[in-house]
Amino acid sequence: MISAGTTLNDRYLLTARIGGGGMGEVWRADDSVLGRVVAVKVLMPALTDRPTFAKRFQNEARAMATLRHPGVVDVYDYGSCQVGERRVSFLVMEYVDGESLDRLLTRAALTPEATMRLVAEVADALAAAHEQGIVHRDVKPANLMIRADGRVSLTDFGIAHSVSAGQLTATGTMLCSAGYCAPEQATASDVTPAVDVYALGVVAYECLTGRLPYDGDTPVQIIFKHLNAPLPPLPRDVPPAPRHVVARAMEKTPDRRWPSASAMAAAAREAAERPGAEPRRRRGMTVTLAISAALLATVVLSTPMLMQQRAQQLPVRDRVVPVEVLLPTGQPSSGAPERQQGKPLPVRATPTPRVTVSGGVTVTITPTAPPPKPTPTATPTATPTPTPTVTRTPDPEPTSEPSVSASPEPTVEPTVEPSGTVEPVRQQESG
């Protein structure tokens, strides 16, 4: 049984218990070889007996030892020894003179500016770890130590991915603390640095509000909310910039979060300096909308010109031109027939919209529908007299295309079939 006064490897004398959790306990100890105070993480004996866990813990301890960053607690040693009847594995780390963030938050929440400064420091430390290929996987206030000078340091790298307290199961199948678990961690997806970005967003939310965004009676309920529930709104007094930092870090989809811990650190610093500034993403959207509006206006203004150029390139038979429709007004008594001009109608012109037959008669036609098979109803006969006799059945709205036959010496007037019989007048050639 581990207790005060226990010596590990005949070197580290445990003096006081600092804290503990489901995977072990943290002790303050004296290093009898180097004469300094250290922190010793002692793993639970039941976990030490598992060879796969012990090996993984050792590999992560070695990786931690390669990190050199002001925001990362230094790792000095790793070992195992026999204590009583059981073997114990332990990790020796730098002793931080301060307190953990979770203890600090029990007294009061942080201001938005202080929260953003803390987030920036932690994100810098995470970025250094990510560059070494190490993912913390258990970023939470209990693993953030606030030093006496106000600086923040990360602890327990590479341990939480094997087992941690407050998990979905006791067998280590869920490798995160439930309250700070990214959605992809709970679904056994590939773990990437994005899980640390998400967890740091949860820490920032807790610093601003004094509570976790999702709670529940069991870890299962909490994980379910991380997967499906929308992010509860922050208090109204939280400025726009810190609000944006937290909201983007806690996106459900990893691709929509901050692309890296470094990017999140830069955004948090800017939010600390200018908390009331609008997020860059919104300014970018405004610029995008302005560009889109300018392009749309250009298209609208250039469309008539393009249509006009296109119309000029079409063959004559395909152009749309106004064609005058001459509607008869009644029976004239003599001379040229009286004509009434109808309103110009925009229709597709045919190759010969006007037909001139002998005798000076001009027939202007406007096709409005595909003509049915013409069925002549009458065959007007013209007599060669100086003043031709005209027989016309007026129809105010012809609906079919007349058929006109012209020859050098016509003997029969052209036949027009709208709905009745139209017999145009042959004018006497003058001179």
Catalytic residues: 138
Query: What is the strand order of the sheet 152-154 is part of?
Result: 98-100, 144-147, 152-154
Sign of CA dihedral 156, 191, 259, 253: negative
* Euclidean distance between CA atoms 323 and 80, whole angstroms: 102
* Euclidean distance between CA atoms 239 and 227, whole angstroms: 26
* Euclidean distance between CA atoms 152 and 32, whole angstroms: 28
* Euclidean distance between CA atoms 331 and 306, whole angstroms: 47
* Euclidean distance between CA atoms 151 and 311, whole angstroms: 73
DSSP character string of 194-244: HHHHHHHHHHHHHHHHSS-S---SSHHHHHHHHHHSPPPPPPTTS-HHHHH
Measure Cα distances from 105 to 178, 195, 208, 257 in Å.
Answer: 18, 22, 10, 25
Cβ(37)–Cβ(29) below 8 Å: yes
Cβ(125)–Cβ(101) below 8 Å: no
* Euclidean distance between CA atoms 250 and 175, whole angstroms: 18
Residue-wise over 252-278: b if at least 16 C-beta within 10 A, else e?
bebeebbebbbebbebbbbbbeebeee
* Euclidean distance between CA atoms 268 and 246, whole angstroms: 9
* Euclidean distance between CA atoms 18 and 97, whole angstroms: 11
Q: Rounded to an integer, what is the distance from CA 239 to the centroid of its chain?
A: 23
* Euclidean distance between CA atoms 12 and 38, whole angstroms: 8
Classify residue 407 as exposed, middle or buried by CB count within 10 Å of its CB (0-12, 13-18, 19+): exposed
Measure Cα distances from 286 to 181, 281, 289, 291, 292 in Å.
Answer: 34, 9, 5, 9, 10
